[in-house]
Amino acid sequence: MKTEEIWMDARDTDSINNMHYLFAFWLEKLKREERRKKEAPVKDVFVVTDDIELK
């Protein structure tokens, strides 16, 4: 796998702002996923087995 270094010029404010935007977007997405996991309880649980005996 090839690794690549990215060098940014401190005077290049557009690329720095883009990196901040991407990081903020990723962080918000991560928070949203965590919130969704907490807010969505499991309502019905069905256990399916192959051990069915007919009487």
User: Residue 43's pLDDT is what?
Assistant: 66
Contacts of 19 (CB under 8 A, 6+ apart): 8
User: Residue 31's pLDDT is what?
Assistant: 92
Do residues 8 and 15 lie in contact, with contact meaning Cβ atoms separated by under 8 Å?
yes
Longest dimension (CA), the chain: 80
User: Residue 9's pLDDT is what?
Assistant: 64
Which tens digits make up the pLDDT trace of 4-54? 776 666 666 777 677 778 888 888 999 998 888 887 766 666 766 666 666
pTM above 0.85, yes or no: no
Q: Domain map of the chain by residue range?
A: 1-48
